[in-house]
Each structure stands twice: as C-alpha cells, then as structure tokens.
C-alpha cells in the first residue's frame, strides 16, 4: 500500500495536479514505474537517467532525469495496449531545489509519436500530474506502444520522476452477460484440456500422477517434452534418471488418455520415427493418434543437425523435404495416425533464410516465412500434413495485460487457416489446427492465481476457434527462483531462500496436496464446465475484465464459466439466458483469492469450493469476487404446469405455473392424436398467470411448454 500525505489539487486545463490525503485504494491501475519498471514496460530512453533513493515519492526509488542537453527523452515502451480500460496517465514529479524545469509528455501509437503535452516541475516537493489519455491522443485505441518524457530545448537541472501508472476506469455498476443457447459455436474437443509430460520428470507414472490426471478429467498428454523431442531417441532412451516411454505408456493407458508424440527431427531420421510408431502402436497397442515432426524446429534454440548441403538447420525448405520422408515411413508403420507439421502464425514469421522465396497465389506477394515456404514445398511433394502445430506463450507484460491477451487466439486461428487455404488449396480442407504447448507469462504468474485464471481463459478462448487442442506446459517442470520479481504482480509463493518461486508445472515435486498450484485446482474445477462432445454456445459480456463461456453438456445441463479478471472489484453481473430455461437452483464451483490464501496460511479450504446458488433462472444477478473463476451448472427447468382454479359461470379457469421471465407456449387440441395448436405465447411476468375460457364447443386439452 502506498501512502500519499499531502492535501491539495489544482486543475490546469484537462490536466490534474494532485496531492492526495488518503491511502491508495486497490484498483486495476497499471504501474509503469514504481521503484523499477513494472508490468513489462521497457526502457528505451536516450537521456541520462538512473534510480535514486532521495528524494522518493514512495517506496525506495525514484528516477533521476539528468539531461546533458536539450530535447532528450526517457522513452518507455510496451507491447500494444488496448486503452479502453484506462482514462489517464498519472506520474509524480519533483523539481528539487531549483524547480520550474519544463518537460513534455507524448504517447506513441503503434510506434508513431503523437501530440505532446508541456508541463513544469514543482520546487522542493512532489506533485502528481494526471493527464487524460484523450489529451495524448490515445484514448480507446488498441495499440498504445509507449510514452516519452522530454526535457525542454535547453539544458536544465535534474528533476525526479516517480510512480507512473495508467489509471483505470472504475468498474461498471453492472456487467451484462448474454447466453444464446441456440447459437452453436462448435463441439468441444477433449484435447483442449491436454497437458505436457516431460521425460526429465521422474514421477511420470506414480499413483499420485494417475490421481492428478484423473482429477483433470484424463486429458490428452504429450511426450517426451518440448525441445527434448529433438534430442530423444526411442532406440536409446536410458539416461540414468527421469522417466521413460514405458512410464508414459502406463500413465496414458491407466488414465485412458489420447496422446501427441514428438518425433526427433533435429538429431535423428525417419526410420527412428517409424520405429517409434511401431513401438507404441504395434508392439504396445497404444493407438496414439497424433505425431509431431520435431518441436519448434525453426528456433535457433532447438537442436538441428541438418547441416550437410543442401540441408540447412532451422530451414522450412529442408523441413518440408525431410517431412516428406517422415510422413511416408510413419504412415507405412501405422496408416491410422495423424502427422503434424510445425508452423508459425504469420506469413513472415520465423524467416531464417531467403534462398527459397515463395509467392502467395492469392495475394501475389513474396514471403520467406516458415509456414509459406514449408507448405509450398510440401504441396510440391504431394504431401499434406494432417495438422499444423502452434505453440503459444503469453508475454511477461503484467497480470492485467496477460489476462486479456488470450483473446489473440482467434486471430492466430484465422491466420493459420488463411495460409492453409492459400498455399495448399483444396488439399488443405481437412488439415486441422492444434496447439501442443501453451503457458502464461513469466515471473510469479506461473505459480500464482493469475496463472490459474489464465489457464481457464485460454481454454475458453480456444473453444471459440477451430483449434482442437491446447496442451498446457506442463505437469512437473522443476522449481526455481525469481531474484528480481516485479512487485506489481499478484502472488505470494516463495522458496526457502526467500525469493519468489518460479515453476512451469502445475504441481511441484511428487505433487502432494501442499505442492499444487492454482492451475491444478482450476483445471480440476473445469471438469464441471465441459468435456469432449459437449456443445459450445455463444456467451458475451460487456466488460473486458469479466469473461464468460457457455457449454450445453451431453447430459442436458448447461454450464457457465465466469472469470473475474479484476484484481480489486467485485463485479455484479446480470445474466440473461436465451434458448434455454434453467432451474432456479444452480451448483457452483469456484476458486479464487480465499482458496489461494488458504493454501498460503493453512487456514480454510485450499481446494475448489462447492456450493449452491438458489436464485438462478432465465434472468438473475450474481456478484463475482476479484480474481476468481466460477463454474455454474444449471439443470433444465421443469416444464410449466397447468392447474385448475374454481370455475366461474360458463367458464373454466386454469393457472399457468412457471418461472418469471421465461417465455411459454400455451397449446390446445381437441384430439390428442391430431397434434397441438398454438394458443398463446407470452413471457411470465411473475411465477403464475391465470386464464379464463368459456365452456363452449367440443372438449379441449391444454398444455404448456417452454419456448426457446
């Protein structure tokens, strides 16, 4: 908590200069600089600047702006930010004993400098400047990429800057969630809940491991683990430590899991890949369906021994030529398998060479990127991969940024599909898209509640696309230290040496109950949300920090996943169903700050919390706590009922009993064999409605049904 201890505010145009007299409240403001650069902001400044511990506005450091001439700048850069959540840029400035230094601030949109706001520093004190983003030309844009703080045109004395932040809009009083049960998005592919297994984990097959996979719903697995795939030999697995393919087979078969297997491209050949197919699927009858040729082979970090001309390492042309041989030999070993090729999501991505340029037949443009070159030469070899592989990791750009970043999956899927269509033509129709590695940002996120929310949001977003799989990295990875953790991030887990913990696994060590991270618990919770064969339907919200995803399950229930991505706000939410009438009592599964705190203190429930929500229905309101994941499971409402009331002279009176806000269809017939005719369609204002009809003509039968 940061304390402000001065008490006046003046207004200069649209820019506020403030000294506030209350402790800072928790908010969704994004720190840019506070003791250090925060939330992924980078320092590109070309003015002399350095940290000082005197004077400081708060914390332990401020930045000294020590220009050696005029028009120098401290340039703060970031990946593109959507500013719709933010209103102002705030910073504190101290001019020291001299004061009066002129300085300017401008924002940058997609690398282009915008209009500058000019200000003057105070003397011997700290002053807050709150500058509307509209004044800087960057309100409600999707690509804010930086700020520059300039000095004047002449040499001036040093001044000091501290506590720079983007100021968030207040949370709305009511967030709206619309569920359209009749608008089908896709069928759930169970592979979206997948997770990587790694050969350096010596506990791949243990009772605890089997239990963890059962808790996660027996997801799809991957072996033998990332870059090890290009240095792993089926014919010589022994390393003296870790686990082996026999352990992986036991884990997969004991949990009834499907699998992706990485074939060694970097240091082996097609014959060993075919040997692996026979070992798993012929000798051991595993029926592992999905096979990848290499892992991230375009990256310089990946082992690639293809150095004999004309081959080149990390080269898409070489990869396409060699993939052809892998494909032929592996399909000969088992024709039922599917074989995938490593891809990049843009036409110019992973452009390592220029000696095999290709032309996009649709646009006429020339590209040297990995995917266009690879697909072009696979097509020339009359080979069509069964799937393309994407790996996707969030940048280390702060909690809020990364919790919004999962929305980029849709663009990835569209880009990959466009390249398949452009470069493979009709032959690419049956090529599927698979993501076999996915993870959140670095620093504390990997073991924090934010990482767990990211885990769930990724699954929700992937299910809005045609991508069929999303395999988290990974089950056990091994822990480490963060010696300079960003203090702006949420998270509390530390190691014995006092440093914040870093671990890319969902559990640590064997995976005892006290060594399980939020990703594990939220993954466990998601088994109540969806499974293979369920139907994803449309869900929409009107506030970016509240995500909602909806599924109609094969058992007739309806599940809703709600993620509150705000670090500080309880979000009251109005939920409106269309096309499905839920019962008024829902089961709720949740995981958030209380459970995460229980894991820290040992007091309370650290596992998924289960309760009931008795106020559900076709329209209802509920409040979701900050940094929380909730799954609400609704059974279908019972059909509306018709009951007789005392008759009046010459009339019959009956009562429709149902759910307020639901639309019903009242039907009649004089002959049950002849079918039903509509009589009235309305929405119940309350839980009942009375009807009066004359006793005339032939007998009638009446019934009521819900109208989707």
Q: 3-state class of 426 per DSSP? A: helix
Give the number of other CB atoms < 10 A from CB of residue 307.
9
**Can you give the length of the chain in residues?**
708
Could you give the CA distance from residue 590 to residue 607 in angstroms, rounded to a whole number? 9
Give the pLDDT confidence score for residue 40 in this predicted structure.
97
Do you find a cis peptide bond into 474, omega within 30 degrees of 0?
yes
Could you give the CA distance from residue 571 to residue 66 in angstroms, rounded to a whole number? 44
Q: Which of 580, 540, 538 is closest to 556 using CA atoms?
A: 580
Q: Which H, E and C letters describe 429-492, residue by residue?
A: CCCEEEEEEEECCCHHHHHCHHHHHHHHHHHHHHCCCCCCCEEECCCCCCEEEECCCCCCCCCC
Distance of CA 369 to the CA centre of its chain: 26
| Rg value, the chain, Cα | 30
Element (H or E) spanning 701, and its range? strand 701-706
Could you give the CA distance from residue 160 to residue 66 in angstroms, rounded to a whole number? 9
Strand partners, 291: 261, 339
**8 A C-beta contact, residue 101 and residue 57:** no
Could you give the CA distance from residue 464 to residue 187 in angstroms, rounded to a whole number? 10
Q: What is the DSSP letter of 354?
A: S
**8 A C-beta contact, residue 234 and residue 280:** no
Q: 3-state class of 563 per DSSP? A: strand
**8 A C-beta contact, residue 549 and residue 460:** yes
Instruction: Record the pTM.
Output: 0.93
Strand partners, 678: 667
Q: Which of 518, 407, 505 is closest to 457 using CA atoms?
A: 407
Could you give the CA distance from residue 444 to residue 317 in angstroms, rounded to a whole number? 39
At a CB cut-off of 8 Å and minimum separation 6, what does 440 contact? 393, 394, 402, 446, 450, 451, 454, 455
Could you give the CA distance from residue 470 to residue 222 in angstroms, rounded to a whole number? 11
Q: 3-state class of 314 per DSSP? A: coil
Tokens matching residue 394? 């969030």
Tokens matching residue 690? 């009375």
> Parallel, antiparallel, or unpaired for β 338-342 and 387-393?
parallel
Q: Where are the beta strands (DSSP E) in 110-212?
A: 112-120, 126-132, 144-151, 159-168, 175-187, 195-196
Positions in the chain short of pLDDT 50: 1-25
The number of CA neighbours under 13 Å toward the Cβ of 138 is 33
Strand partners, 550: 537, 560
At a CB cut-off of 8 Å and minimum separation 6, what does 147 contact? 32, 75, 76, 89, 105, 106, 107, 108, 136, 164
Summarised one tens digit per residue, pLDDT across range 225-277 is 999 999 999 988 877 789 999 999 999 999 999 999 999 999 999 999 999 99
Q: Which of 273, 267, 261 is closest to 223 using CA atoms?
A: 261
Do you find a cis peptide bond into 224, omega within 30 degrees of 0?
yes
Give the pLDDT confidence score for residue 26 in this predicted structure.
66
Give the pLDDT confidence score for residue 21 in this predicted structure.
28
Could you give the CA distance from residue 479 to residue 47 in angstroms, rounded to a whole number? 39
Cα dihedral sign, 502-507-512-517:
positive
Could you give the CA distance from residue 666 to residue 702 in angstroms, rounded to a whole number? 7
């Amino acid at each position: 908590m940061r304390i402000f201890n001065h008490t006046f505010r003046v207004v200069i145009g649209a820019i506020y200069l403030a000294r506030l007299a209350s402790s800072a409240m928790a908010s969704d403001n994004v720190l840019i600089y506070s003791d250090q650069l925060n939330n992924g902001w980078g320092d590109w400044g070309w003015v002399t600047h350095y940290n000082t511990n005197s004077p400081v506005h708060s914390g332990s450091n401020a930045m000294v702006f020590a220009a050696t001439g005029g028009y120098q700048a401290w340039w703060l850069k970031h990946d593109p930010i959507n500013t719709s959540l933010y209103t102002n840029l705030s910073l504190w400035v101290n001019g020291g004993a001299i004061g009066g230094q002129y300085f300017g601030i401008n924002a940058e949109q997609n690398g282009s400098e915008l209009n500058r706001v000019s200000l003057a520093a105070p003397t011997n004190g700290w002053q807050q400047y709150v500058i509307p983003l509209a004044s800087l030309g960057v309100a409600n844009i999707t690509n804010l990429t930086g700020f520059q703080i300039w000095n004047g045109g002449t040499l001036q004395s040093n001044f000091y800057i501290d506590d720079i932040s983007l100021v968030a809009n207040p949370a709305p009083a009511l967030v709206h969630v619309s569920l359209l049960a009749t608008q089908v998005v896709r069928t759930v592919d169970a592979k979206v809940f997948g997770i990587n297994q790694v050969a350096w984990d010596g506990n791949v097959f243990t009772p605890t491991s089997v239990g963890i996979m059962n808790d996660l719903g027996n997801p799809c697995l991957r072996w033998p683990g990332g870059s090890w795939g290009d240095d792993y030999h089926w014919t010589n697995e022994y390393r003296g430590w870790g686990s082996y393919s026999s352990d992986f087979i036991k884990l997969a078969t004991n949990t009834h899991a499907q699998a992706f297997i990485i074939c060694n491209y970097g240091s082996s050949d097609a014959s060993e890949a075919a040997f692996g197919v026979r070992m798993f699927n012929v000798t051991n009858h595993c029926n592992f369906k999905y096979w990848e040729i290499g892992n991230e082979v375009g990256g310089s970090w990946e082992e690639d021994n293809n150095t004999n001309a004309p081959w080149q390492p990390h080269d898409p042309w070489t990869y396409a030529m060699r993939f052809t041989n892998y494909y032929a030999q592996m399909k000969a070993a088992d024709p039922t398998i599917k074989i995938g090729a490593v891809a990049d999501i843009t036409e110019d991505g992973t452009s390592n060479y220029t000696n095999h340029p290709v032309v996009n037949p649709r646009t006429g443009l020339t590209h040297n990127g990995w995917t266009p070159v690879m697909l072009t030469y696979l097509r020339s070899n009359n080979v069509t991969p069964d799937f393309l592989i994407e790996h996707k990791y969030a940048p280390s750009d702060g909690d809020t940024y990364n919790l919004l970043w999962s929305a980029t999956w849709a663009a990835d899927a569209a880009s990959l599909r466009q390249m398949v269509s452009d470069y493979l033509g009709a032959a690419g129709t049956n090529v599927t898209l698979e993501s076999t590695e996915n993870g959140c940002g670095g620093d504390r996120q990997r073991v924090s509640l934010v990482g767990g929310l990211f885990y769930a949001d990724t699954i929700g977003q992937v299910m809005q696309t045609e991508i069929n799989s999303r395999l988290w990295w990974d089950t056990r990875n091994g822990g480490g230290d963060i010696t300079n953790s960003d203090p702006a991030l949420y998270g509390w887990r530390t190691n014995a040496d006092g440093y914040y913990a870093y671990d890319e696994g969902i559990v640590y060590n064997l995976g005892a109950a006290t060594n399980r991270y939020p990703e594990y618990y939220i993954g466990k919770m998601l088994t109540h949300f969806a499974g293979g064969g369920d139907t994803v339907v449309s869900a929409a919200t009107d506030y970016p920090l509240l995500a909602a995803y909806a599924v109609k399950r094969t058992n007739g229930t309806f599940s809703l996943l709600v993620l509150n991505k705000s670090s500080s706000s309880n979000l009251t939410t109005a939920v409106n169903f269309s096309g499905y009438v839920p019962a008024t009592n829902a089961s709720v599964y949740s995981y958030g700050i209380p459970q995460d705190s229980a894991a820290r203190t040992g007091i309370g429930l650290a596992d998924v919390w289960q309760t009931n929500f008795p106020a559900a229905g076709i329209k209802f309101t509920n409040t979701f706590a900050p940094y929380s994941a909730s799954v609400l499971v609704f059974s279908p409402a019972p059909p509306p009922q018709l009951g007789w009331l005392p008759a009046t002279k010459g009339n019959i009176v009956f009562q429709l009993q149902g759910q307020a806000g639901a639309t019903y269809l009242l039907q009649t017939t004089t002959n049950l064999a002849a079918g039903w005719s509509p009589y009235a369609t309305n929405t119940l204002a309350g839980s009942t409605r009375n009807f009066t009809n004359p006793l005339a003509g032939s007998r009638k039968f009446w019934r009521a049904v819900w109208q989707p």
